[in-house]
Chain A
Amino acid sequence: DQQVKQNSPSLSVQEGRISILNCDYTNSMFDYFLWYKKYPAEGPTFLISISSIKDKNEDGRFTVFLNKSAKHLSLHIVPSQPGDSAVYFCAASSYSGAGSYQLTFGKGTKLSVIP
């Protein structure tokens, strides 16, 4: 059973417009959420994160929103640029015991920004 779901496998957006990537989770013990970006032939690159005590975190063109009651988070990219074309992974962190934390990943959403 997937605890972190990215229901859209792909998304196409025109350059300059807003890209909105969505992520839903089921485990209420998750307390920290991250977005990673992955280009082909490279490992995931950390993009932005948010703690469960916040509902918004902004870093330049990237903003992550967290709705705890809906167990939903989203990543907004504005304005979208062709270089943003990549696969975006949502990840959630929870304490797994004995001082250890685990990251649970979604399957990813492939974003294509069209010039």
Chain B
Amino acid sequence: ETGVTQTPRHLVMGMTNKKSLKCEQHLGHNAMYWYKQSAKKPLELMFVYNFKEQTENNSVPSRFSPECPNSSHLFLHLHTLQPEDSALYLCAGSQDLQETQYFGPGTRLLVL
């Protein structure tokens, strides 16, 4: 148990749908992250939030839209995704930006 939860665990969506992934952390972390893991590729950092402010956007397409309403919650809003966006999306938290990151279980996304 890492103190980071993600919902839903699995999601199937069409290319015209709008959905949101939710991440919640219970450890008082100040920094939160979204990663994408595609098949046979390394984890790719998507976004970083520190004290609710976005500090990194790794050239992520605008069809992915993050939101951090408070330091315990992080969302990833999805709209008009492509089949190649099918992947495992992982949320992580760390006490501060330099500290070890702790991951949630991930959301397995399939875009049809």
A residues near B (Cβ < 8 Å) are 2, 4, 32, 34, 36, 41-46, 49, 89, 91, 93, 96, 98-108
Q: Which residues of B contact A (CB under 8 A)?
A: 2, 4, 6, 9, 40-43, 45, 48, 50, 55-56, 90-92, 97-98, 100-106
- Taking a contact as CB atoms closer than 8 A, the residue among A42, A45, A105 that contacts B43 in the complex is A105
| Further pairs besides A2-B42, A43-B4: 5, Cβ < 8 Å | A32-B98, A43-B105, A91-B43, A100-B97, A107-B42
Nearest B-chain residue to A95, judged by Cβ: B98
Q: Is the CB of B97 within 8 A of A101?
A: yes
On whether the beta carbons of B103 and A103 are closer than 8 Å, the reply is no
Question: What's the least CB distance linking A110 to chain B, in Å?
Answer: 12
Asked if B45 contacts A107 (CB within 8 A), the reply is no
Q: Which 6 A-B pairs have the closest CB atoms?
A: A43-B103, A105-B43, A105-B42, A100-B55, A44-B103, A43-B105
- Are A99 and B2 touching (Cβ within 8 A)? no
List residues of chain B with CB within 8 A of the CB of A43. 2, 4, 6, 90-92, 103-106
Judge whether A96 and B56 touch: CB under 8 Å: yes
Q: List 17 A-B contacts (CB under 8 A).
A: A34-B100, A36-B103, A41-B9, A42-B105, A42-B106, A43-B92, A43-B105, A44-B90, A45-B2, A46-B102, A100-B48, A100-B55, A100-B56, A101-B97, A103-B45, A104-B42, A107-B42
Interface contacts (Cβ under 8 Å), in number, total 60
Interchain nearest-CB distance for B74 vs A (Å): 14
Please, how many angstroms separate the alpha-carbon atoms of A2 and B41 in the complex? 10
Q: Which residue of B lies closest to A32 (CB)?
A: B98
- The residues of B that contact A108 with a CB separation of less than 8 Å are 42
Cα distance, A45 to B90, chains bound together (Å)? 12
User: Which of B6, B101, B105 has a CB less than 8 Å from the CB of A103?
Assistant: B101
Q: How far is the CA of A108 from the CA of B4 in the complex (A)?
A: 22
Taking the nearest CB of chain A, how far is it from the CB of B109, in angstroms? 14
Whether the Cβ atoms of A107 and B56 lie closer than 8 Å is: no
